[in-house]
Every structure is written in structure tokens, then in C-alpha cells.
């Protein structure tokens, strides 16, 4: 009888310990998930990526825009209503750059621009559709650094979740 | 025939319309009442932040100031005076930024000019001692000068563009001021903007004039410096030529002295050889004499020996004869007293 009691106690202790481990694992996973997010709001989320950071100062003054940076690459994420067509948005983005800007690529949800100045700036603009909003991801980088920036732009593009 | 003409006309017009559409797209602006206005301002600011060249930054600010003025005109037309006043304030900010950017651009240019001059001086100092082997360096210098000239031309072109743009803005601001439907506050803002614009222009012109004067002074100084350098170079060349002549003379004199020395040496050698020959002759003579003497002595000795031998032989003969006589006497019984 005593033996049976001791075995039951040991079994219970082991079970409790495992339960605690499982709870700890859940907590750790949750923390890891929280740590792995670079930025999130109700409309979109960007997973953490080496080199990229949120420009808190510039973003603080904005209501509809969030600014990110990575070396010489800048990313402006703009939240716009669903009322506007992608064509209108494309025109507006094009008009936002300095004059003499050239449209060098035009796909369904993407345009590439290049300013025509002494120091050219390359713009890669992606249009995403959310449930209630549209999102414009405008990457800007000096033309001379564009080739080396491509990888980082693609990496961030793959880490975007739109709600 | 008619169909062909129509078709070509249609093709040409489509081509022109296509091009104009793209150009218009680029010239369109986003107005403050549009949803993407804040984004467009952010894009402008980002473009500015990613641009390093001061003059390029000034040109961008000038373009953005023009955009703000167009927006002011549009909002006034729409009757949105509150928005217009805000835009006028922003416009003034752009003008201030433009002014400071231009000042920095001037300073940067002056600094780069000074640096270039210092580099030139340094290169000249290094090059002077070996002026024959500097073709490559001269070519590099030429291309540097060309680059400097090109950048100065670009600078002038950009400044001209900025002046023209400022003139256009002044005209637009004056036109706005003359409007009767504007409230006093808006007019005061525009007047202030106009005043700032004029002040900036005056400052710019004054800086330009000062720069022109200082450039003239610098040119004069540079000319004087060049003349002085030319004089120094001439003097150095003359000195070098004189030194060369002197060196040649020295070499000739040295050669003469050496030849003389050689001749003296040869003469001495000859003399020594003659002396040696004389000595050898004398020695040979002496030897001959000695040999003759020796021969004579030997002869004399031989003669003496012969004489002695003859004497001895005579003595012996005499002795023998005496002995024979004595023997004869003894044999005869009579002593011989000879």
C-alpha cells in the first residue's frame, strides 16, 4: 500500500513538472513572437529584419504614414482608403517626386521610378490591398546604392503581413 | 491616298498625345486636400535627405517652394484661406531653408576651390625639381581643371535657374498681393514672404558681388604669383645654365691638368728608365772591369806562379847541379867549393 502511494506521488510530481515546462514553453514562444515583430498596427505588420528600423521621430508626426530606414534605404508605408484606384495612387506617387521623374517600370501592383537629376533617387512602389485599407510601400534609395539595396528591399517585402 | 494620310496623321497624333500624357503625369502635383498630400511631402523630404550635393538640395528646395506657391494659389482660388495661410508659413520656411542651403553651397564651393588651389600649389612644389618627366601629371592636372570648369559651369547654370525661378515667384506673389478678395492676414503673410524673398535675393546678389570682387583679387594675386613663379623659374634656369658652363670649364681644366700630370709621369718614367739603363750599363762596365781586373790578377798570379815555379825549377836544377858536382867532387876526392 505504501509502495503504491509513493509511486502515485512520484507520478504526480513528474506530471506537475512537465505541465510547468509546457507553460514556460508557451510563454517563451509568445515572447519570441513579440520580439520578432519590427512594427505592427491594425492594418499591417512587419516581422523583424536585420538592418531595418522604425524612424520613430518622423513617424510620430504622421497619422497615415510609417517610416522605416536601413542605411541609405528609406521606406514610407502609407495607409490610404479603398476609395482610390491604384491608377490614381500611382499618379499621385509619381507626382510626389521631384519634376523630371521617369516611370521606368509599371506592373499591376508595382511601379519603379527614377528621378532625372545630378543625384538620382530610385523609387520602388508596391501597392497592397487590406481588408479596409490600401497600403503603399514606397522604397527610396540613391541610384548609386540601388543594386546593393535590392536584397534588403526584397527581404522586407517578404516580411509584410497586411490585415 | 487620303486613307494613308489620315492613318499617318493619326499615328503621329497618338505618339504626341502619349508623350504629353507622360509629361503631364510628371508635372501634376498633389494638392493639400488630397489624401496622399502628407505622403507627397514625406517623399519630397526623403528625396532631399538622400541628396548630398548642396546645390542639388537648393534646386530641390526651390522646386518644392514653387510647388507650395502653386498650392497657395490653388487654395486661395478655392477660397480656403485658412489653409492658404498655413501654406504661406510653410512657403516661408522653404525660402529660409533654401537661403541657408545656398549659403552652405557657396561655402562648400569656396572650400573646394581653396582645397584645389592648395593641391595645385603642392603639386607644383613637388613637380618643380623634375620638370622633364611631368607629362602624365600635367594631363591629370588638365582633367582636374576641366572638371573644375565643368562644375563651375554647372553651378552658374543652377544659380541662373534659381534666379529665374525666384523672379517668377516674386511676380506670382505680387499678383496675389494685388488681389482684393484676400483678407488682411493673408496679405500680410504674402507681403512678408515677398519681403523675405527680396531680402534673400539681395543677400544672394551681395554675396555674388563680393565673390566677384574677391575672385578678381584672387585672379590678380594668382597672376602675380604666376609671374613671380615664372621669374623664379627663369632665374633657376639661368643659374642652372651658368653652373653647367662652369662645370664644363672645370672639367676641361681638370682634363688639361690630368694630361699634364700624365705627361710628367711619362717623362719621369722615361727618365727613370734611362737612369736604370745607365745604371745597368755602368754595372755591366764595372763587372767587365772587375772581370778584366780579376783576369789580369789571375794572369799575374799565374805568371808569378810560373815565375816561382821556374825559379823553384831553376833552384832545384841548381841544387841538383850542385849536388851532382858535390857527388862528382866526392867521387873525385876533391871538395867542390862552388
Report the pLDDT value the prediction gives residue A76, as an integer from 0 to 100.
97
Shortest CB distance from A118 goes to which of B49, B53, B63?
B53
Separation between Cα atoms, residue A19 and residue A13, nearest integer Å: 10
Residue from the list A58, A92, A101 with its beta carbon closest to the beta carbon of B26: A101
User: Inter-chain contact B46–A140, Cβ cutoff 8 Å?
Assistant: yes
pLDDT reported for residue B16:
41
Residue contact A97–B47, C-beta within 8 A: yes
Chain A CB contacts of B29 below 8 Å? 95
Report the share of chain B in percent with pLDDT over 90: 15
A110 pLDDT higher than 70: yes
- Among A103-112, B81-90, B180-189, B326-335, the range scoring the smallest mean pLDDT is B326-335
pLDDT at A30: 47
Question: Does residue B23 have a pLDDT over 50?
Answer: no
Residues ≥6 apart with Cβ < 8 Å to A41 = A66
pLDDT tens figures, B278-304 = 999 988 888 888 888 888 888 888 888
Among B15, B74, B64, which residue's Cα sits nearest to residue B44? B64
Q: How many CB pairs under 8 A join A and B?
A: 93
Report ipTM for this prediction: 0.81
- Do A89 and B36 lie within an 8 Å CB cutoff? yes
Residue B39's nearest CA partner among B25, B50, B29 is: B29
Q: How far is A101 from chain B (nearest CA, A)?
A: 6
Confidence of residue B10 (pLDDT cuts 50, 70, 90): very low
CATH superfamily, domain at A37-162? Mog1/PsbP, alpha/beta/alpha sandwich (3.40.1000.10)
Using the predicted structure, report yes or no on whether residue A26 has a pLDDT greater than 90.
no
Three cell numbers written together for B321: 847541379
Residue B105 has pLDDT above 50, yes or no: yes
Q: Which chain A residues are closer than 8 Å to B42 by Cβ? A: 58, 62, 65, 67, 76
Which residue in B has a C-alpha nearest to residue A113's C-alpha? B26
Q: What is the sign of the dihedral through the CA atoms of B304, B309, B310 and B315?
A: positive
Give, as one character, the DSSP assignment of residue B14.
Answer: H
Report how far residue B16's alpha carbon sits from residue B8's, in angstroms, rounded to the nearest whole number: 12
Q: Which residues of chain B are at the A interface, by a Cβ-Cβ cutoff of 8 Å?
A: 22, 25-30, 34-36, 38-40, 42-44, 46-47, 49-53, 56, 59-60, 63, 154
Which residues of chain A does B59 touch, with a Cβ-Cβ cutoff of 8 Å? 117
Cβ contact, residue pair B36, A74, below 8 Å: no
> Does the CA dihedral A135-A140-A143-A147 come out positive or negative?
negative
First-last CA distance in chain A: 60
Measure B36 CA to nearest chain A CA, in Å. 7
Across the range B307-326, mean pLDDT stands at 83
Q: What is the sign of the dihedral through the CA atoms of B168, B173, B174 and B180?
A: positive
Q: What is the mean pLDDT of chain B?
A: 80
Instruction: Enumerate the β-bridge partners of residue A106.
Output: A111
Q: How many CB atoms lie within 10 A of CB A160?
A: 15
Cβ of A95 and B30 within 8 Å? Answer: yes
Nearest CA of chain B to the CA of A94: how many Å? 6
pLDDT at res. B29: 82
Give A100→chain B minimum CA distance, Å.
Answer: 7
Chain A: closest CA distance from residue B158 (Å): 11
Q: Quick check: A76 and B38 CB within 8 A? A: no
A79 φ/ψ angles, rounded to the nearest 5 degrees: -100, 120
Judge: B36–A78 Cβ closer than 8 Å, yes or no.
yes
Give the C-alpha separation, B324 to B321, whole Å.
5
Q: How far is residue A131's CA from residue A139's CA, in Å, rounded to a whole number?
A: 23
Whether the per-residue pLDDT at B14 is higher than 50: the answer is: no
A65·B22 Cβ contact <8 A:
no
Q: Identify the pLDDT of residue B139.
A: 61
pLDDT at A89: 96
Is the pLDDT at A100 greater than 50? The verdict is yes
Which residue has better confidence, A31 or A119? A119
Shortest CA distance from B62: residue in chain A = A98
User: Which residues of chain B neighbour A142 with C-beta distances below 8 Å?
Assistant: 50
pLDDT value of position B219: 79
Is the distance from CB of A128 to CB of A156 less than 8 angstroms? no
Nearest CA in chain A to B154: A118
pLDDT digits (tens, 9 = 90+) for B59-82: 999 999 999 999 998 898 888 888
Contact yes or no for A93 and B26 at CB 8 A:
no
Residue B2 scores a pLDDT above 60: no
Tell me whether residues A100 and B26 touch, CB distance under 8 A: yes
Orientation of helix B184-332 relative to helix B135-177, angle to 10°: 170
Q: Nearest-CA neighbor of A114 among A125, A128, A130?
A: A125
Pick the residue of B43, B44, B58 with the most A CBs within 10 A to test the interface with A by mutation. Answer: B43
Residue from B38, B42, B57 to probe the interface with A (highest A Cβ count within 10 Å) = B42
CB contact under 8 A, A138 and B39: yes
Amino acid at each position: 500500500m505504501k509502495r503504491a502511494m509513493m509511486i502515485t506521488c512520484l507520478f504526480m510530481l513528474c506530471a506537475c513538472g512537465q505541465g510547468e515546462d509546457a507553460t514556460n514553453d508557451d510563454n517563451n514562444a509568445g515572447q519570441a513572437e513579440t520580439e520578432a515583430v519590427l512594427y505592427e498596427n491594425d492594418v499591417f505588420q512587419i516581422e523583424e529584419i536585420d538592418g531595418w528600423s522604425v524612424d520613430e521621430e518622423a513617424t510620430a508626426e504622421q497619422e497615415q504614414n510609417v517610416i522605416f530606414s536601413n542605411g541609405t534605404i528609406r521606406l514610407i508605408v502609407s495607409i490610404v482608403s479603398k476609395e482610390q484606384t491604384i491608377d490614381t495612387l500611382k499618379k499621385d506617387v509619381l507626382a510626389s517626386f521631384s519634376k523630371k521623374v521617369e516611370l521606368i517600370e509599371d506592373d499591376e501592383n508595382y511601379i519603379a521610378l527614377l528621378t532625372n537629376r545630378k543625384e538620382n533617387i530610385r523609387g520602388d512602389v508596391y501597392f497592397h490591398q487590406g481588408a479596409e485599407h490600401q497600403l503603399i510601400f514606397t522604397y527610396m534609395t540613391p541610384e548609386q546604392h540601388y543594386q546593393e539595396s535590392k536584397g534588403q528591399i526584397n527581404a522586407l517585402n517578404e516580411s509584410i503581413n497586411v490585415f | 491616298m487620303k486613307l494613308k494620310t489620315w492613318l499617318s496623321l493619326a499615328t503621329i497624333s497618338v505618339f504626341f498625345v502619349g508623350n504629353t500624357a507622360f509629361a503631364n503625369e510628371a508635372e501634376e502635383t498633389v494638392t493639400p486636400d488630397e489624401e496622399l498630400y502628407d505622403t507627397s511631402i514625406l517623399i519630397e523630404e526623403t528625396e532631399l535627405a538622400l541628396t548630398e550635393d548642396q546645390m542639388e538640395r537648393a534646386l530641390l528646395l526651390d522646386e518644392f517652394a514653387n510647388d507650395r506657391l502653386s498650392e497657395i494659389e490653388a487654395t486661395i482660388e478655392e477660397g480656403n484661406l485658412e489653409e492658404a495661410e498655413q501654406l504661406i508659413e510653410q512657403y516661408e520656411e522653404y525660402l529660409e531653408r533654401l537661403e541657408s542651403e545656398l549659403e552652405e553651397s557657396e561655402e562648400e564651393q569656396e572650400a573646394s576651390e581653396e582645397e584645389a588651389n592648395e593641391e595645385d600649389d603642392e603639386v607644383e612644389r613637388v613637380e618643380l625639381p623634375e620638370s622633364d618627366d611631368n607629362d602624365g601629371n600635367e594631363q591629370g592636372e588638365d582633367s582636374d581643371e576641366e572638371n573644375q570648369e565643368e562644375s563651375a559651369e554647372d553651378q552658374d547654370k543652377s544659380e541662373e535657374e534659381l534666379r529665374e525661378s525666384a523672379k517668377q515667384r516674386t511676380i506670382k506673389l505680387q499678383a496675389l498681393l494685388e488681389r482684393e478678395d484676400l483678407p488682411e492676414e493673408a496679405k500680410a503673410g504674402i507681403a512678408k514672404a515677398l519681403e523675405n524673398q527680396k531680402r534673400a535675393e539681395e543677400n544672394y546678389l551681395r554675396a555674388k558681388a563680393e565673390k566677384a570682387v574677391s575672385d578678381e583679387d584672387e585672379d590678380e594675386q594668382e597672376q602675380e604669383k604666376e609671374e613671380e613663379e615664372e621669374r623664379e623659374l627663369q632665374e633657376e634656369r639661368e643659374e642652372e645654365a651658368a653652373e653647367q658652363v662652369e662645370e664644363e670649364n672645370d672639367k676641361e681644366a681638370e682634363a688639361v691638368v690630368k694630361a699634364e700630370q700624365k705627361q710628367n709621369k711619362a717623362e719621369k718614367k722615361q727618365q727613370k728608365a734611362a737612369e736604370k739603363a745607365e745604371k745597368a750599363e755602368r754595372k755591366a762596365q764595372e763587372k767587365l772591369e772587375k772581370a778584366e781586373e780579376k783576369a789580369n790578377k789571375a794572369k799575374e798570379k799565374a805568371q808569378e806562379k810560373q815565375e816561382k815555379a821556374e825559379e823553384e825549377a831553376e833552384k832545384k836544377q841548381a841544387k841538383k847541379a850542385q849536388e851532382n858536382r858535390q857527388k862528382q867532387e866526392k867521387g873525385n876526392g876533391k871538395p867542390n867549393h862552388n
